[in-house]
Structure 1
Amino acid sequence: MDLQKELLRITSEYLDENLDYLKLSKATEEYKILLNEICGQNLDIENGRKDLEFDNGKALGTYWAALCLDDLIRTRQFIRGINRAIQEKINKQKPLHILYAGTGPFATLILPFILRYSKEEIRYTFLEVNQFSFEILKNIISKLGLNDYNIKILKEDATKYHIDPQNKPDIIVSETMQNALAKEQQVSIFLNLMKQVSYHTIFIPENIELFIGLKKSQSLTEENQVSPFKKIKRVFDVSKKSMFLSNGVENMILKENLFEKSQTIIENKELEGFIDLVLITEIQVFNDVKISVNESSLTTPIILKVIANQKIDSVIVNTQYKISSLPELEYDIIISNNV
């Protein structure tokens, strides 16, 4: 088997403009099989399942990181977004420098591009903090015959990594997140890297937004036709724009790794017809390539409180994002009831 040709053939489906779920599912299964065959190791072992715990979040165990490929829309949209970013930058900067922070064992989001561009066009820096994933990734690159490409693989914590000021990346990719930016290190990674580069550096994803919202009941006839979710207020976002416009990343964070508080007030008339108070995540990967509500496990709304069949005057939701060993958007809900 020509592994390079197989890689190009299989991953071409992710770049197709037309979304065909059956073809995408088949391509994902083939991609998994190919990577696991090249890897030649059982990841479903104690060492593979063990997450790494840090004071600013966790890094997924190798086995769990590899499973991220199963999230079809997530994988497709990130690959398509990266492709758009490369196309935008490729003729402006040669060689283009891509930094991939948190690669997992397979670097699945960047692997589709290495063979699609010449060795002179793009150089890569891969950061992976998990030793097991790091060793597997080096083996994958070698077995695919990519050692003569300009790929630097470093065992580094991306939340503390120092970028060489003479070798700044043009594109920075990191998908180290879970739904609602909880538990993992996405925010800390972007904070660290954003303060070391210029405003012209492209970050993938471009924007991650958290909203307080509402969900209404949905009949079978309405399913897949009208979204049951309504966004009320954006309460937190991670983007180059918001970070830089705040006069520097450092000014975004208050004491003890807390961000600014946000308060959302929802009056009775806005609550009519809705059954749940929810937290909504939306991801702009790059330009018009997005992951919308419920398209991925990353954007599945989280129910904060059931409000159906209650007489409520208003709902107040106080929120604040906190970086800790378990980073999350902290919240408290105050309900004013009719007397």
Structure 2
Amino acid sequence: MTLRNQYSSPVSFVDPKLQEICNQHLRNQLDGLLNQLPENQARLALQFSLSNLVAKMLEAPRAHEELVELFSTAYENLLSSFKKAELTEAEQVSSYINATGLVMSVEHALHTFQDIYRVQAFIRGVHQALESKQDNHKIHIVYPACGPFAPLLLPLISHYAASDTARHQLKITLIDIQPGAIKALSNLISDLDISDYIHEVLCCDVMDYQPDHSIDVLVMEALQHGFTREGHLAFARHLAPYLAADAIMLPEKIAVTACLNIGQREFADQWKDKKRTHSSLVDPIIQSERTHLGEVFSLTLESLRKLTVIPLGKGMELIECNQVQIPKGVDGIDKTSLLLTVTATTFGQEKIHEYESGITHPLCDMSVCIDFVPQVAEPDDLLVKSGDRLKFYYKLSGSPGFLPTVA
């Protein structure tokens, strides 16, 4: 897919305050109070900030400004712990493509904690999922591609540790392919004093992992907007045989839907006076201009076990997805682009809606040309007409994502 397919909003889901903190770290200017504290006090500050953040999130929904303050304090403490790991430049910045997709650099993975509504939905969802397992047997939690902070789980475990909750019931396996991530993660586990909860910390490709115990709870988020670029679906397929009969997978559901809209309206006009993106800040008029086509794909435990796989050889497979129809009689349809939107239900009622996270920012696929022929042709242009049906496939390869075709 060409660079012209990367149409996106100039406004980010990340609050500017959290971006400022990250910039300070990346410029090596993070030299605040915590760096001057004795090590034991810095650890206590880290533990308290994460436990306090989680306690507030679990109590009730919080105003955005309060969340930003809580996350900012915790993020500064996490960055201080990360700096103590003393990663080399290569350990921080190395990224590459492997057989299942992008392997993100450790430096980039740090930013996940800035995605506050993603983190909140997972923390609340994991907590509810664990509460739903009320029996006393040990619960094996596996978190693949967890990065240097394991941000969708470890803050919750730090909160549990503060009250000595489930210390002997949970056994957690953390996996990442990046040696630098494992180095920082091991340091963080020590700083949080949560080693009693940890079963294994593994530096390996998720596709090589064969657990010694069945998986009771799978916590995973390895995707980018439009359900692209990273190996989430490949990882889920690989781990499915190891799931216990009553296993819970978080997110419980990832739904990808297709719609049409004018890119300028969707990604520029809608956000011109906004400091950040969020589902509560969308323009209802611009949203009403969308032409909804339908669901392209959804990933649940049930659908994972029923995937139709088409092998193409040389490590490439296609997953058969749904069809949608382009309607007739829509004025200006030749000016619209295909948008793939994602919503994620972590557990129960905990959801990540459009524009609330980097993973739910709509993806604009400008290779689909409806009722027009582009002046400058690209190799992957798909020329379609009003009334045509689009059939989607999902590519399992080093460049995962959806492949639209004319049915």
**Fold match, TM over 0.5?**
yes
1:196 alignment partner in structure 2: 242
Give per-residue Cα distances to partners, 1:8-34, cap 9 Å, x unaligned: 113333324223111111122112111
Aligned with residue 54 of structure 1, among 76, 86, 98: 98
In structure 2, what is the Cα distance between the partners aligned to 1:295 and 1:100?
22
The 5 Å alignment of 1:3-42 reads 3-41=46-84
2:320 alignment partner in structure 1: 260
CA separation of 1:230 and 1:287: change in aligned 2, threshold 3 A? farther
Q: Secondary structure at the match of 2:226?
A: helix
Query: Is 1:81 matched with 2:81?
Result: no
Structure 1: any 5+ residue segments left out of the alignment?
A: 335-339
Aligned with residue 142 of structure 1, among 190, 202, 206: 190
Contact in 1 for aligned 2:254/2:344 (Cα 8 Å): yes
Aligned with residue 320 of structure 1, among 393, 397, 403: 393
1:69 alignment partner in structure 2: 113
Contact in 2 for aligned 1:119/1:150 (Cα 8 Å): no
CA separation of 1:18 and 1:255: change in aligned 2, threshold 3 A? same
Q: Secondary structure at the match of 1:38?
A: helix
Sequence identity percentage: 23
TM-fit CA distance, 1:328: 1.1
Aligned with residue 350 of structure 2, among 262, 272, 289: 289
CA separation of 1:231 and 1:193: change in aligned 2, threshold 3 A? farther
Aligned with residue 169 of structure 1, among 205, 215, 219: 215
Aligned with residue 148 of structure 2, among 105, 108, 125: 105
Contact in 2 for aligned 1:208/1:238 (Cα 8 Å): yes
TM-fit CA distance, 1:122: 1.4
The 5 Å alignment of 1:93-242 reads 93-115=136-158, 116=160, 117-164=165-212, 167-215=213-261, 223-225=282-284, 227-228=287-288, 229=290, 231-242=292-303
**TM-score, with normalisation over the residues of structure 1?**
0.85
**TM-score, with normalisation over the residues of structure 2?**
0.72
| Corresponding residue pairs, total | 325
Give per-residue Cα distances to partners, 1:2-61, cap 9 Å, x unaligned: 242332113333324223111111122112111111222577944312214211112211
In structure 2, what is the Cα distance between the partners aligned to 1:16 and 1:276?
41
Give, as a single letter, the amino acid of the residue that structure 1 aligns with 2:69: K
Coordinate RMSD, CA, aligned: 2.8
Give per-residue Cα distances to partners, 1:66-97, cap 9 Å, x unaligned: 111111211111111111111111x1243222
Q: Secondary structure at the match of 2:68?
A: helix
In structure 1, what is the Cα distance between the partners aligned to 2:308 and 2:302?
12
In structure 1, what is the Cα distance between the partners aligned to 2:112 and 2:60?
22
Give, as a single letter, the amino acid of the residue that structure 2 aligns with 1:80: R
Give per-residue Cα distances to partners, 1:203-243, cap 9 Å, x unaligned: 01111122221237588799544644454221222221112
Contact in 2 for aligned 1:52/1:130 (Cα 8 Å): no
In structure 2, what is the Cα distance between the partners aligned to 1:7 and 1:207?
27
TM-fit CA distance, 1:174: 0.8
Contact in 2 for aligned 1:281/1:293 (Cα 8 Å): yes
In structure 1, what is the Cα distance between the partners aligned to 2:50 and 2:70?
10
In structure 1, what is the Cα distance between the partners aligned to 2:231 and 2:256?
16
- Give 1 or 2: higher helix fraction: 2
Give, as a single letter, the amino acid of the residue that structure 1 aligns with 2:253: N
Give, as a single letter, the amino acid of the residue that structure 1 aligns with 2:55: S
